[in-house]
Amino acid sequence: MNILVTGGAGYIGSIVTEQLLKEGHTVVVVDDLSTGHREAVSPDALFREGDFGDTILIHDVISEHKIEAVMHFAGETLVGKSMTDPQAYFQTNVRKGMDFLDTLLENGVRKFIFSSTAAVYGEPISCPISEDHPMRPINAYGESKLMFERILEWYRRAYGILYAAPRYFNAAGATPDYGEYHTPETHLIPLLMQSIVDPSYTFIIHGDDYATPDGTCVRDYVHVLDIAQAHILALHSLDEGSFYGAFNIGSSTGYSVREVLRVMEEVTGKDVRFRVGPRRQGDPAVLVASQERLERELRWQPRFSSLESIIGSAWEWRRRYPQGYVGLRAKPEVVTQE
């Protein structure tokens, strides 16, 4: 299958691209490299630098490469920034997303996997969280993702788009060649590793007064390889017409920040420098997934998502590429418009 991956130079997009290629698909990555890294795109993928909201670019990519399906990872993703600059999130994730979706439909592309988030639920009223849990986002990031999910559902009913919207519960881990490298970095496990390798950096626990066993936030961590497999299973099910809609990707197990910190020290054999700071605006106390729909309908099981496996793979990638993607690999092939 010929698949367009937007945001394929980012963390999850790059690893999904890697796994799609291993399955024998042809992958075209579109990424504006505003937060992604060109070196994160597999050399076996075709690459077009640009904005997914550029309707002319997307039309050309679809036409030139006979695109049959899309995996959409591009967009604004930082929770904290969404609270101070919500306009950017609604412009990119919703308005630009609609332009992108309309261009796909105009060109006959109706298979669509949308990268969503557990942030659509807001503060949970029960755990683990299932897909029918009330959706009350407490940050603009989650609100923008929920708005686009609802757009997709209306487009399914009216225009026949086939879509799935995986809601992530803290993607983590790495493959031997591709890992998590953001600038700035906001995710827990890379920041814990940073506190180990950078003497000038001290990790901050954002609040230790939550209603959790040790006072720190609890999250459900899923290995990025398990996430990639869920995307591929969902895509195959779209082909069969047997699956659509939103679904959780989680492990149904929650770990507090302090628990992750402890396992980081056990796996690496290093001490984590940290201090406790104030809460971060927009952070729910607990987010743990129910994965029952994914298990029941797609026969998915997490294979790599023990906390030890997640941290071990992330640490090995960090040791292999201590400077991240900066200048470490050859540039991927670039496809230019003739």
Consecutive H or E run containing 112: strand 111-114
β-pair partners for 6: 30, 72
Helices 11-22 and 224-240, interaxial angle, to 10°?
Answer: 60
Instruction: State whether the Cα torsion 53-184-114-179 is positive or negative.
Output: positive
Instruction: State the Cα–Cα distance between residues 235 and 237, nearest whole angstrom.
Output: 5
Query: Cβ–Cβ contacts within 10 Å for residue 132, how many?
Result: 8
- List, by residue number, the catalytic residues: 141
Query: Cβ–Cβ contacts within 10 Å for residue 218, how many?
Result: 23
Q: Is the omega angle on the peptide bond into residue 134 within 30 degrees of 0, that is, cis? A: no
Instruction: State whether the Cα torsion 156-99-11-279 is positive or negative.
Output: negative
Instruction: State the Cα–Cα distance between residues 4 and 28, nearest whole angstrom.
Output: 5
Instruction: State the Cα–Cα distance between residues 191 and 274, nearest whole angstrom.
Output: 10
Query: Cβ–Cβ contacts within 10 Å for residue 65, how many?
Result: 17
Query: Cβ–Cβ contacts within 10 Å for residue 216, how many?
Result: 22
* Phi–psi pair at 233, nearest 5 degrees: -60, -40
